[in-house]
Structure 1
Amino acid sequence: MELLDSWIASFASFVWGLPLLVLLIGGGLYLLILSKFLPFRYLGHAIQVLRGKYDDPNDPGQISHFQALATALSATVGMGNIAGVAVAISIGGPGAVFWMWVSAIVGMSTKFFTSTLAIMYRGKDSAGELQGGPMYFIREGLGVKWKPLAVMFSICGLIGAFPIFNVNQLTQAINDILLKPNGVDVGLGSNIIIALILVALTSVVILGGLKRIGKTASRLVPSMVVLYFVLVVIILVVNMNEVPKYFLMIFTDAFEANHMKGEAVFGGVLGALIIHGIRRGAFSNEAGIGTAPMAHGAAKTDEPVREGLVAMLGPAIDTLVVCTLTALAILVTGVWQTTEANGVSLTASAFNNAIPSIGSYLLLLCIAIFSISSLFSYSYYGTKCMSYLFGADKKHYYNYFYIASIVIGATTSLSMMINLIDGVFALMAIPTMTATIILAPKVVKEIKSYTSRLNSGN
Structure 2
Amino acid sequence: MLETIESINNVVNNFIWGVPAMICIIGVGLVLSFRTRFLQIRKFPYAMKVTIGRMFRKKQAADGAMTPFQAVCTALAATVGTGNIAGVAGAIAIGGPGAVFWMWISALLGMCTKFSEVTLAVHFREKNDKGEFVGGPMYYIKNGLKKHWHWLAYLFAAFGVITVFGTGNATQVNTITTAIDSALFNYGIISKDSVSNINLVIGIVLAVLLALILLGGIKRIGQVTEKLVPFMALFYVVLALGVVILNINHVPAVFKEIVEGAFSPASVTGGVVGSFFMSMKKGVSRGIFSNEAGLGTGSIAHACADTRKPVKQGFFGIFEVFVDTIVICTLTALVILCSEVPITYGQAAGAELTISGFTATYGNWVSLFTAVAMCCFAFSTIIGWGLYGARCIEFLFGTKVNKPFMFVYSLVAIVGATLDLGLLWSIAETFNGLMAIPNLIAVFLLSGVVVKLVREHFDPEAREEA
Q: What is the distance in 2 between the residues matched to 1:261 and 1:152?
A: 43
Partner of 1:37: 38
Deviations 1:17-76 (A, max 9, x none): 211211111110110111011122222332333222899868896111111111111111
Aligned residue in 2 for 1:5: 6
CA distance in 2, matches of 1:415, 1:58: 41
Residue 251 of structure 2: aligned partner: 243
Which of 427, 434, 439 aligns to 1:420? It is 427
Q: Residues 263 and 94 (structure 1 numbering): CA distance in 2 closer, same or farther, change over 3 Å?
A: closer
- For residue 442 of structure 2, what is the amino acid of its counterpart? A
Q: Secondary structure at the match of 1:275?
A: helix
Matches of 1:125 and 1:148 in 2, distance apart?
20
Matched letter for residue 192 of structure 1: L
My pick for the range that moved more, 340-349 or 431-440, is: 340-349
Deviation at 1:343, TM superposition (A): 1.1
Partner of 1:320: 326
In structure 2, do the counterparts of structure 1 residues 386 and 98 end up closer, same or farther at CA, with 3 Å as the change threshold? same
Higher mean C-alpha displacement, 10-19 vs 52-61: 52-61
The CA deviation at 1:412 is: 4.1
Q: TM-score, normalised by structure 2?
A: 0.91
CA distance in 1, matches of 2:281, 2:61: 45
- Say if 2:417 is the partner of 1:449: no
Q: What CA distance in whole angstroms lies between the structure 1 residues aligned with 2:373 and 2:100?
A: 21
1:105 and 1:22 map into 2 onto residues whose CA distance is 16
Q: CA 1:55–1:37 in 2, change beyond 3 Å: closer, same or farther?
A: farther
- What residue identity is the alignment partner of 1:323? C
User: 1:307-345: CA deviations, max 9, x gaps?
Assistant: 111121111000000000011001111224279882111
Distance 1:243-1:11 versus aligned 2 partners, 3 A rule:
same
Find the counterpart in structure 2 of residue 255 from structure 1: 263
Q: Which residue is equivalent to 1:145?
A: 148
**CA displacement at 1:234 relative to structure 2:** 1.3
Provide closer, same or farther for how the CA distance between residues 97 and 225 of structure 1 changes in structure 2, counting only shifts above 3 A.
Answer: same
CA distance in 1, matches of 2:315, 2:241: 28
| Residue from 234, 238, 242 that aligns with 1:230 | 238
Mapping 1:261-300, distance limit 5 Å: 269-300=275-306
Q: Which residue of 2 aligns with 1:113?
A: 116
Deviates more, 1:297-306 or 1:162-171: 162-171
2:71 match: secondary structure: helix
Q: TM-score, normalised by structure 1?
A: 0.92
Alignment coverage as a number of residue pairs: 454
Match of 1:433 in 2: 440
**Residue in structure 1 matched with residue 176 of structure 2 by the alignment:** 170
Task: Please give the root-mean-square deviation of Cα atoms over the aligned residues, in Å.
Answer: 2.6
CA distance in 2, matches of 1:403, 1:263: 42
Contact map agreement 1:164 1:408 (CA 8 A) in 2: yes
Unaligned stretches of 5+ residues in structure 2: none
Residues 409, 417 of structure 1: 8 Å contact kept: no
* Separation in 2, partners of 1:146, 1:397: 30
- 2:207 counterpart of 1:199: yes
SS of 1:342's equivalent in the other structure is coil
**1:212 — aligned with what?**
220
Instruction: Report % sequence identity.
Output: 38
Contact 2:64 2:219 in 1 (8 A): no
**CA, structure 1 residues 380+456, in 2 after alignment: closer, same or farther (shift >3 Å)?**
closer
Return the alpha-carbon distance in structure 1 between the equivalents of residues 34 and 449 of structure 2: 15
- Farther-moved stretch of structure 1 (332-341 vs 168-177): 332-341
For residues 414 and 98 of structure 1, do their structure 2 counterparts lie closer, same or farther at Cα, with a shift above 3 Å needed? farther
Match of 1:333 among 339, 343, 353: 339
CA–CA distance in 2 between the matches of 1:309 and 1:354? 36
Look up the equivalent residue of 1:320 and give its one-letter code. Answer: I
Q: Indicate which of 356, 372, 380 corresponds to 1:349.
A: 356
Matched, 1:376 2:377: no
Distance 1:336 1:103, change over 3 A: farther
Contact 1:49 1:65 in 2 (8 A): no
Matched, 1:98 2:105: no
Cα distance, 1:217 vs. partner? 0.9
Aligned position for 1:85: 88
Query: Residue 200 of structure 1: CA displacement?
Result: 2.1
Whether the aligned pair in 1 keeps the contact of 2:50 and 2:312 (CA below 8 Å) is yes
Shift of 1:192: 2.2
Shift of 1:183: 5.3
1:205 alignment partner AA: I
- Give 2:405's aligned residue: 398
Contact 2:117 2:314 (8 Å CA) reproduced: yes
Is 1:157 equivalent to 2:160 in the alignment? yes
- Equivalent residue for 2:369? 362
Q: Equivalences for 1:115-130 in 2 at 5 Å?
A: 115-127=118-130, 129-130=132-133
